Amino acid sequence: MLGLYVHIPFCSAICNYCNFNRGLFDAALKDQYVQALLREIASQGDRSVADTIYFGGGTPSLLEPSEIAAIIEACRGAFDVTADAEITMEANPETVTPERLAGFRDAGVTRLSYGVQSFRDEELQRLSRLHSASRAGDAFAMARAAGFDNISLDLMMWLPQQAIAHWLESVEALIALGPDHASLYILELYPNAPLREAMARSKWSLAPDDDAAEMYLEAMRRLDAAGYEQYEISNVARPGRESRHNLKYWTDGEWLGFGCGAHSTRRGVRWKNLSSTTEYIAVVASGGQPGVEKRELSRREALEEALFTGLRLTRGIDVHTVKTRYNADVWGIYGSELERFREAGLLIYDGRLLRLSRAGMLLANEIMSQFLGSPVVD
């Protein structure tokens, strides 16, 4: 079944580490953008069955509930959206009120994903986030009170000046709230991130690499103990609460993306939409298609991607499925390179499933790079 992704590129302020496709909120531009989204969704509709809708951003919770409702309606008009569809909206804690949350729920949103990042105020300030730790807790409680029984919280680790104990305070605060799903990401600083300058100016440093590894491993141990199941390198969930939408990205699924910069993958073809918000609006308003860089995935690309994403999942890669789908013998092709990782306890292979151990997840990029550019699968 298809997943539908809807990009909302507006934010109240731009965080100093953010490299997403976003810009400052502008009410007039937002109105035009929502109209363009409705038009694009209608133009792509073919009544295919879709079982997820995901509002990502940017900050989708800056939209009015009536706008979210109109976009969901447009999806239902253009696709056969299942009755039990997972409809996720990313939200920033400072943007919600009980009334707005009730409105989003009435609009059809079934799952909220809050960008919390930290439960320590000084860390949030260093990241130039607009909310405080207590605001994040309030936003969570408001969402529960509004009836959301599927809430995810994002945290970021290895922040400037963050010691292991600081990070674990945030992890414990998250566990105390009891969300249904959590995503833990390592802060990645892109080359010109303003946070880099702030770090240099204020002499903030990052903990040593070994501490970053310990942050990850200890957080996962505590989440295990609290009843969460890790299902992907960065994601844990209560049983049955895995992100159905994101699993499509990791299991060779198909999805259509709407809005500026959104990516789509369908029937072996991949494309992305124009990144610029204004260009996207102009093209859609004139009846054009915003999709660019359309290309068919080669067999090698499709295989490599299936291996990359499959290894991100804790259940790993089913080599029999890969053999059937791509006619590729995974261990036969890559086994000689992978054996040293298996011997080091980083990779586990039982003849059918190939998966990373938790220690292996720390070296995922290095292990996955073995899949790149194999001459055998042209």
Binding site for ligand SF4 (CB under 6 A): 11, 14-15, 18, 20, 22, 57-59, 92, 115
For residue 117, the Cα-to-chain-centroid distance in whole angstroms is 13
Nearest distance from C-beta of residue 294 to ligand SF4, angstroms: 26
Residue with tokens 């995810």: 152
Q: Is the peptide bond before 57 cis (omega within 30 degrees of 0)?
A: no
**Distance between CA atoms of 328 and 304, rounded to whole angstroms?**
11
Q: Can you spell out the DSSP letters for 299-356?
A: HHHHHHHHHHHHHHBTT-EEHHHHHHHH---HHHHHHHHHHHHHHTTSEEE-SSEEEE
Choice between 2 and 124, CB closer to ligand SF4: 124
What is the spatial distance between Cα 245 and Cα 280, in angstroms, rounded to a whole number?
A: 24
Q: Residue 203 and residue 230: Cα distance in Å, rounded?
A: 35
Measured from the CB atom, the residue of 56 and 290 that comes closer to ligand SF4 is 56
Beta-strand relationship, 10-11 and 23-24: parallel
CB of 92 to ligand SF4, least distance (A): 6
Residue 52 phi/psi, 5° resolution?
-145, 145
In the complex with ligand SF4, the residue whose CB is nearer, 154 or 304, is 154
Nearest distance, CB of residue 110 and ligand SF4, angstroms: 22
**Nearest residue (CB) to ligand SF4, 278 versus 324:** 278
Instruction: Say how many C-beta atoms besides its own lie within 10 A of residue 187's C-beta.
Output: 17
**H-state helical runs in 133-208:** 133-145, 164-177, 194-202
Least distance CB 140 / ligand SF4 (angstroms):
17
The least distance separating ligand SF4 from the CB of residue 258, rounded to whole angstroms, comes to 17
In DSSP notation, 205-267 reads -PPPHHHHHHHHHHHHHHHHHTT-EEEETTEEESTT-S-HHHHHHHTT--EEEESTT-EEEET
Q: How far is the CB of 44 from ligand SF4 (least distance, A)?
A: 24
Residue 248 C-beta: closest distance to ligand SF4, Å: 21
Smallest distance from ligand SF4 to CB 15, Å: 3
Which of 59/246 has CB closer to ligand SF4? 59
Looking at the DSSP assignment, which residues form a beta bridge with residue 317? 354
**What is the rounded distance in angstroms from the CA atom of residue 310 to the CA atom of residue 198?**
37
CB of 15 or CB of 322, closer to ligand SF4: 15
How would you write 103-115 as a 3-class SS string? HHHHHCCCEEEEE
- Looking at beta carbons only, is 22 or 111 nearer to ligand SF4? 22
Smaller CB distance to ligand SF4: residue 20 or 345?
20
Judge whether 65 and 45 are in contact, CB under 8 Å: no
Tokens of 204: 């903030």
Decide if 294 contacts 270 (C-beta within 8 A).
Answer: yes
Shortest Cβ 10–ligand SF4 spacing (Å) = 8
For ligand SF4, which is the closer residue by CB, 261 or 360?
A: 261
